[in-house]
Structure 1
């Protein structure tokens, strides 16, 4: 099957484009601090912050432009047999066209749970303005996924579920996915974790991610069984879930 190519530096370009306010503010603080401060310690701290920022950009370039993330080859050993698949995102969708290309025989539905009153990331707002949604995308509520019970073979949640910041909302959402999942169906959740590799890469920015224990608690609360956990890169973890009591 022919691969879908991405533009060079597309991933890191989007990160800078959608978060430009952070980088402009930091650059201003860095220049002003280095020009006007007389304290060596302050200068060293600013240089350290600059190095940390450059490191985060380098890691992001590796993840989003150089790794196998968007080839979707990491899905090949997960035992997926998709006939009816659902891709759910949080306002910015880079994967639906890739999934449609990888599983051309499957029926694909795309849902967007982004709610500007609850999910308040300015970067998502900018992404939504720049990129048109995948054709046929439906806006949904995390509390009511518009699918029949036991009707879906695979649900994909790729770098999206962390935007659900409220634990109770997260539990309700995964219970909805449990309801919609076929008896032998699977849910694939891909996320950065609040762990050491992501702290090294993003320093305090890793607080935007959740620890692995938080995800596992949400899965258990929704009576979902963790079938498999794997690393896509040192910074990304993929969880394959199924209904409790389902044989592998």
Structure 2
């Protein structure tokens, strides 16, 4: 089953899931302009402040439109470079944090493979308001199973590919994240691979999302986490300046 994305769905998702930030931002900008007019502040400083607020509100939406609506990310052509084999003997798992936009796409790309979908969302641990809102509109793949981030309900060395698409940064606790990655390593076959896609805490994402980039982890942090979890091969490929695809095994 192919899920058709609406025009500007990526931007609309950002606005919907993070609307509390935009409400605060617009209210702050309105208050700022009111104070400027009331106190008749310098035009120079007024322009700087208004431009700063406007940048913080609009640029994340523009970048999100580029990444999620115009880059072809959700067409998954970037997956072709990994030369995955599609076979009825393959087991693939896709793990999300309660918002799933990729499982139907993965199944369309690899229709013969056995796809299992897991959701590790825990309302007590993963408390970001955006996740709560995203869960309400997520397209739930059939037989999606709720799991703990500490345990995957699979036998050792039985999985060919694991997809972690913009989800694992929601595990904010370092020990919990490493435990989760160790579980991924346990269930992977010797020749199996993890494909992880994430924004990074780097300069391009700072320019795009300003302080919001702190919600992501750096490439160095991810590499350290994977190595601590027992992985030795970590290849990073850029997809746009704002996202990285990690091939891990």
TM-score bracket, shorter-length normalisation: over 0.9
1:127 maps to: 134
Match of 1:245 in 2: none
Does the aligned pair in 1 maintain the 2:162–2:195 contact within 8 Å? yes
2:161 aligned residue (141, 150, 154): 154
Residues 34-78 of structure 1 deviation map (CA, whole Å, 9 limit, x = unaligned): 022233335522331212321111001100111121111111111
Q: What are the equivalent positions in structure 2 for 1:38-53 lying under 5 Å apart?
A: 38=39, 39-40=41-42, 41=45, 44-53=48-57
CA contact (8 A) 2:98 2:131 kept: yes
Structure 2 equivalent of residue 76 of structure 1: 80
Q: How many residue pairs get matched?
A: 241
Cα distance per residue 1:70-106 (max 9 Å; x no partner): 1111111113235110000011000000001110000
Counterpart secondary structure, 1:223: coil
Contact 1:80 1:186 in 2 (8 A): no
Q: Tell me if the contact between 1:3 and 1:71 (Cα under 8 Å) persists in the aligned partners.
A: no
CA distance in 1, matches of 2:189, 2:105: 23
1:4 is displaced (CA, Å) by 5.6
Match of 1:202 among 209, 232, 237: 209
Q: Which 4+ residue blocks in structure 1 deviate beyond 3 angstroms?
A: 2-5
1:23 aligned onto 2:27? no
Distance in 2, Cα, partners of 1:18 & 1:4:
20
Q: Which stretches in structure 1 are left out of the alignment for 5+ residues?
A: 243-248
Tell me, yes or no, if the aligned pair for 1:33 and 1:43 is still in contact at 8 Å.
no
Q: Which residue of 2 aligns with 1:96?
A: 103
Distance 1:131 1:91 in 2: 7
Task: Look up the match of 1:107.
Answer: 114
Verify: 1:63 aligned to 2:67, yes or no: yes
Matched, 1:6 2:13: no
**1:226 positional shift:** 2.6
Cα deviation, 1:154-181, whole Å, max 9, x if unaligned, reads: 0000000100111101110010000000
Runs (5+) with no aligned partner, structure 2: none
Q: Which moved more, 1:15-24 or 1:186-195?
A: 15-24
